[in-house]
Amino acid sequence: MDKFKKTALNIALAGAVLAGFSLPAQATGVLATATIELKNLRFHDDGGTNFSNLNFGPTSTSGALPSGTNSTGLSATLDGVTKEEGGIAVLPFDVIASGGSIASLEIDLDSNDYCVGSGCTLINNDFNTNIMSSSSLDLVNRSYSDSLLRGTAIDYDLNQDGVINGAGVFIDHDLDPLTPDVEVFDYLSTGTHVGAESTVELMADGLGFADVDTQLTSSVSFVWTGGDTHFNISFDASAFAEAFVDELPSAPESANAVAEYSQTFELVDELTGDIILEWASLDLNRSRSRTDGAPGSRTASFAGPLTLTSTDLLVNGREYSFQATTGTTVTASLKVPEPASIALFGLGLLGLSQIRRKKQA
């Protein structure tokens, strides 16, 4: 066998053998992240004074004072492995009975991170410490969600003297003369802090898939007992979403990233069925996506104060239902090509073709 044949055959054998041992694919990253926060969220009258528990009478259906429910549901999934939390309920509209304390009123629900993947850190309560973005992120393989619910949107007459004035009063919390009484104070709300955060990061050989859903929902039915006013909602909002598919150093074989944040409010007059406040503005309801066919980054963001006002005045003695939803949802998938294997296979074919051409010469 001449020198050319030996060289070509060696190339062919090397290509054929090494093609079975895939070298690590070049790094390609995908990111889908979304965060939304409402701070200083208050329900107030037309003059800017917070509503209080004194403005909400018993509902016609239950005969009881309104008991709103806030619930949070978090999930994080990566390659079929899921961590989730749900069913947590707190009652921001409950009127504190005798013996109640500020601890039973003040909502402080800061969920631990729910994280799946090799890039997960220790579970913590660091909601939105750092906004994720492709420009400042060393991508790993993980999916996580986080949420926060703290404070209340209305004032409370904890001492039950009929006015919201911040005055304290001692109450006998257990009718036991040997234990000290408890002093409670009216609670003057500075607003609720609500937040939702979801992120998926993928940087892996082969196929990766992840999805996250985080939502906080508040709902309450009440009979209005206050004076003539619209139902007003004020808050400071911030939101950010990014969908990112990397095209360097090599384009992915297939990739997809979708990120969205959302905020809605609805107030319904139960007698007429009319929706007198409905808000789902683009300011806080946006979605962004990227694919391997259109790589790069797309972002959406908002920051600023907002005030919403019902279209009709609240009617004394009329029953209403209110609902708010805050959420983030992200999905991402990735399949990275194996350029090393393809190149070696092509090299083997080239060597074999050279041998055949030499024989035919």
What tens digit of pLDDT does each residue of 186-195 get? 878 888 888 8
Round to whole Å and give the CA distance between 326 and 147. Answer: 10
pLDDT-based confidence at 176, cuts 50/70/90?
confident
Q: What is the CA radius of gyration of the chain?
A: 30
Higher pLDDT, 139 or 44: 44
Per DSSP, 95 falls in state: P
Round to whole Å and give the CA distance between 135 and 131. Answer: 11
Percent of the chain whose pLDDT exceeds 90: 32
pLDDT-based confidence at 339, cuts 50/70/90?
low
User: What was the pLDDT predicted at 11?
Assistant: 41
Write down the pTM of the prediction: 0.79
Model confidence pLDDT, tens digit, residues 204-257 = 754 555 555 566 666 778 889 989 999 999 999 999 999 999 887 677 888 999
Handedness of CA 146, 30, 255, 25 (dihedral sign): negative
Handedness of CA 224, 229, 233, 236 (dihedral sign): negative
pLDDT-based confidence at 22, cuts 50/70/90?
very low
Closest CA to 334 of 203, 140, 199, 200: 203
Mean pLDDT of 26-48: 88
Round to whole Å and give the CA distance between 298 and 259. Answer: 10
User: What was the pLDDT predicted at 83?
Assistant: 81
Round to whole Å and give the CA distance between 96 and 102. Answer: 9
Q: What are phi and psi of 10, to 5 degrees?
A: -60, -40
The tokens of 152 are what? 């209340």
User: What was the pLDDT predicted at 120?
Assistant: 81
pLDDT-based confidence at 4, cuts 50/70/90?
very low
Closest CA to 237 of 291, 308, 320, 336: 308
